[in-house]
A and B are shown apart, each in its own frame.
Chain A
Amino acid sequence: MRSKLGKYRTPYLFIAPFFVLFAAFVLSPIVYSLWLSLQEVVGIYVPLQFVGLKNYLDLVSDPRFLHSLVVTFTYTFFQVTIMVVLAVILALILDQRTLRGRNVYRLVFFFPVITSFIVAAMVFKLLLDKEIGLFNMLLRAVHMRTHAWLEDPTYALPSLITIGIWRWVGYQMVILLAGLQNIPAELYDSARVDGAGSLRIVFRITLPLLFPVIFFVIVMSVIGSLQLFDEPFILNMHGGGAGSGGPADSMLSTAIYLYQTGFLDFRLGYASAVGYVLTVVILAISLLQILTFGKRAGFAEI
């Protein structure tokens, strides 16, 4: 027994520091959260009150929570779909060796990734303002209808999606470019010999071979988008107050709702339940994706 433990001592020691932190700041909070989701905070000097599954039962009939899920899913579906399509197109274009200045273009598209979201959100808030924003000014110049892009419930979510795409499309493009680099050049050559046109090559050879990378990009983006918080938080800081859900709650993502319940109303138990349901949703969606397309994408071997 002793010798066996001794044999594995080194790797365990090596992962120990990481694991201690992981246990302290990821694992145990997850467990604590589960416990907290069964309680309710009553007052500052009053102990927590055990309420069982009440918080979860309340969630099912909470229209704002359900609405927040709709907002989150809508955002995720459109943001990820449009962004990935654009990123694939950009990667295919910028992968062409004959294209001059392609490194400059790559830099340009990547640049938003390194900006802090708060800076991005702030600038967009001013650019998209109804009266004084640059965007509406341009629209007026060409006699098109202007809108309150961030204050009108119809346009608020689409604007948010656009900002999300602007921010992350370059990041996904870089991953896809790397994936393209791994496709052997001979495959293209032999296809060309067979007389295939360039569009045909893209659809028959490039995209299928790139699928594992595209799949990776989709899975990761979906996880990120479902956690949407930063941008709507800053965009709505001024009008409706910090943590508001935007015009007519049109930007109320589940994470924003969690913030409202937990840190503005101090209903910590309910907020934990919101967080737990969101986690389960994200896990389920990721698993679903991996189970349906994972094999084809070679996701089995990590």
Chain B
Amino acid sequence: MNGSLDGYGGEVARRISLYLLLTAASIVMLTPFYWSLVASFKSQSELFDLPNVFIRQPTLANYAQLFGQTLFVRWFVNSCLVAIAYTVLVLFFCSLGGFAFAKYRFPGRNGLFIALLSSTMIPPWVTIIPIFSWFSRLHLVNSYLSVILPGSANVFGLFLMRQYIQGVPSSLLDAARVDGCKEFGIYARIVIPIIAPALGALTIFAFLGSWNSFLNALILLRTPDMFTFPVGMSSLVGSMNPQYGVLMACAVISVVPTSIIFFTMQKQLVAGITLGATKE
């Protein structure tokens, strides 16, 4: 195939087609974002006018309606509160548990760990019905706790922490022990600072996970003032007369916090994604 395009000329042609291909693929990837951004500045009547790729008369009406006539701000705050509380819990429990699994020997260690790992294969729908039942008996349905606690035994987080802490030299911990440091002190003063990058990665994962989580919240939150952002948005979608411009405004704003986290903490994010997969 490449015979006729041998040498430098062939290489250039190959490069150019590669760039064209990548750029075309990028456009496909980004079109939905572009479209929702544009749509959020259009009036409902202009939204579906053809061609609908450009804005003719930009308007902020959708945003005004989003803030003025829906509980959007409340949902946003709810989501933030829930995501922050959830993240704190996950960071603490996973790092502490991960430390134990990585650096201590105790009966049942491997068995427990394998049991934990295999539990990730269980679809959340199997547990949601009992969880719903639990919380209703405790009269905690429609509370923040009901959406914070259930996911906080985050096995992925535990796995991530264990992988990372295994790389911390045991000699460091032993030296601290010799100096009279207690076990919890070792965790708090030595392990935590060393694994800060991995904690950064877990922070992002936990936050994103909570921010986007839908199933639990859909079932467990019942009044609009308690909705998290995805449930609130789905209530806008589900109404008989969805205002698509408003929905798109909602979509655009929802990407802001996750984008900020993504762009400031890219390195940790990538490290977190790859740690589990490529560590031998």
Contacts and interface: CB of A to CB of B under 8 A. Distances in A.
Interface stretch (A50-58, A63-71, A146-154, A171-179): A171-179
B215 to A, nearest CB: 7
A174 B208 CA distance: 17
Interface of A: 8, 10-12, 14-15, 17-19, 21-22, 24-30, 32-33, 36, 90, 93, 99, 105, 107-109, 111-112, 114-120, 122-124, 126-127, 132, 134, 137, 166, 170-171, 174-175, 177-179, 181-182, 212-213, 216-217, 223, 226-227, 229-230, 233-234, 237-238, 242, 255, 258-259, 262-263, 268, 271-272, 275-276, 278-279, 282-283, 286, 298, 302
A11 B104 contact: yes
Given A18-B97, A108-B30, 13 more contacts: A10-B183, A11-B105, A18-B158, A19-B112, A30-B122, A107-B266, A115-B33, A115-B258, A119-B233, A123-B248, A123-B251, A137-B51, A263-B219
B206 interface: no
A124 B32 contact: yes
Given A93-B22, A282-B121, A282-B122, A17 B92 contact: yes
- Residue of A25, A124, A223 most packed against chain B (CB within 10 A): A25
Contacts of B187: 14
Instruction: Name the prevailing secondary structure of the A interface residues.
Output: helix
A280 B215 CA distance: 21
B80 to A, nearest CB: 14
Interface of B: 18, 22, 25-26, 28-33, 35-36, 39, 48, 50-53, 92-94, 96-97, 99-101, 104-107, 109, 112-114, 116-131, 133-134, 149-153, 155, 158, 183, 187, 208, 211-212, 214-215, 219, 229-230, 233-234, 237-238, 242, 244, 247-248, 251, 254-255, 258-259, 261-262, 266, 270, 273-274, 276-278, 280
23 contacts: A10-B100, A14-B97, A14-B187, A15-B96, A21-B149, A25-B149, A26-B153, A29-B130, A93-B22, A107-B266, A115-B33, A115-B254, A123-B251, A126-B35, A178-B270, A178-B277, A213-B278, A233-B214, A237-B238, A268-B129, A275-B129, A279-B126, A302-B113
Contacts of A122: 36, 233, 237, 247-248, 251
A116 B116 CA distance: 27
B252 to A, nearest CB: 9
A119 B36 contact: yes
Contacts of A36: 129-130
